[in-house]
Amino acid sequence: MIDDITKVLQNWDYRLGRVDARRVKGEDGADKLQLRIDLGLLQMNAQRRPDGKRPFGHPTLLDHFVNRLEEFRKKHGGEDDDFSINPDECAKLQQEAIQYHHRSICNFELEDFEAVERDTEHILELLDFVQDFAAQDDIGQSFQQFRPQTIMMQVRAVGTELLADGNYEAAIAEIIAAIEELNLFYTEMGREELVGNGMEVHSLGEWLKDVEKEAAEKKPMTKREKLEHKLGTAIDQEDYESAAKLRDQLKRISAKKKA
């Protein structure tokens, strides 16, 4: 086995500001994802936990702590008021969240949107768990900085899949719901200045405009809508003679509806 990866890097240039990812087959026969970074590359498993480990025999570290919580509740009559995870355990969960974040970036670039949805959902569940059970409230709060970007990445994946199927209505609904969720999050975190102004909210808002515009362009137009579109074009081109004729046609359509 050759440990030096110089040749690999020479054949795969790092491009500043770009996400370069690829899927390769590992020596164990399993799919791996690789992300090019400036000083090398990150490699992770395509399935299960990115680093391939099974913490305490569980698929993920979050699974381990959820199982521990369930055992605690069984011993305490369903109560969990005294259950907590210490700062070191929170740090290890943060490491797991970062691994899943890196993989979701790779999968988004590779257009494996189902995988993005799966990994971002894991991150959000992890953030909820730490917020609920961190021994120190400030640690739970600090984890929430990852929530906006995770929500945005998740809805980008969901929305892109819906758009690929031509389901504009559902995609628009998902984007609007994500914007509302982000604004609620900022309010609950006491960051009212970010409501409607956060980077992720702005990004999704711009995407929403693009999707709504594309949906409108693809939607079959009625005769009236076609005339109104032509009228707008005529006015923009200062073709007032054509605009006048189009207005007359629109008036006749309105008159027929009233009759």
Query: What is the per-residue pLDDT for 33?
Result: 96
Residues 71 and 153 in one domain: yes
Residue 259 has pLDDT above 70, yes or no: no
Residues 56 and 159 in one domain: yes
Query: What is the per-residue pLDDT for 227?
Result: 86
Please name the amino acid found at residue 220.
P
Residues 71 and 161 in one domain: yes
Provide mean pLDDT across the span 232-238.
Answer: 91
Within a domain: residue 31?
no
Provide mean pLDDT across the span 83-100.
Answer: 96
Residues 55 and 156 in one domain: yes
Last residue of a domain, which of 117, 150, 165? 165
Last residue of a domain, which of 165, 191, 206? 165
Within a domain: residue 148?
yes
Question: pLDDT by residue (tens digit) across 179-194?
Answer: 999 999 999 989 999 9
> Exposure of 222 by Cβ count < 10 A (0-12 exposed, 13-18 middle, 19+ buried)?
exposed
Question: pLDDT by residue (tens digit) across 36-91?
Answer: 999 999 999 999 999 999 999 999 999 999 999 999 999 999 999 999 999 999 99
The CA R_g of the chain, rounded to the nearest whole Å, is 26
* Residue in this structure with the two tokens 């309010």, named with its chain if needed: 187
Q: Cα–Cα distance between 72 and 151 in angstroms, integer?
A: 30
Q: Which of 10-14, 211-215, 254-258 has the lowest mean pLDDT?
A: 254-258
Q: What's the domain range around 244?
A: 223-258
Within a domain: residue 4?
no
Within a domain: residue 140?
yes
Provide mean pLDDT across the span 201-214.
Answer: 95
Last residue of a domain, which of 138, 165, 192? 165
Residues 152 and 63 in one domain: yes
Within a domain: residue 24?
no
Name, in order, each residue with C-beta under 8 angstroms of 71's C-beta and a sequence gap of 6 or more: none
Confidence of residue 220 (pLDDT cuts 50, 70, 90): confident
Confidence of residue 216 (pLDDT cuts 50, 70, 90): confident
Query: What is the per-residue pLDDT for 217?
Result: 81
Within a domain: residue 80?
yes
Confidence of residue 27 (pLDDT cuts 50, 70, 90): confident
Query: What is the per-residue pLDDT for 1?
Result: 56
Residues 58 and 157 in one domain: yes
Within a domain: residue 55?
yes
Name, in order, each residue with C-beta under 8 angstroms of 18's C-beta and a sequence gap of 6 or more: none
Domain count, the chain: 2
Provide mean pLDDT across the span 12-24.
Answer: 92
Within a domain: residue 14?
no
Report whether 96 contacts 60 (CB < 8 A): yes
Rounding to the nearest 10 degrees, give the CA dihedral for residues 6, 10, 14, 20: -90
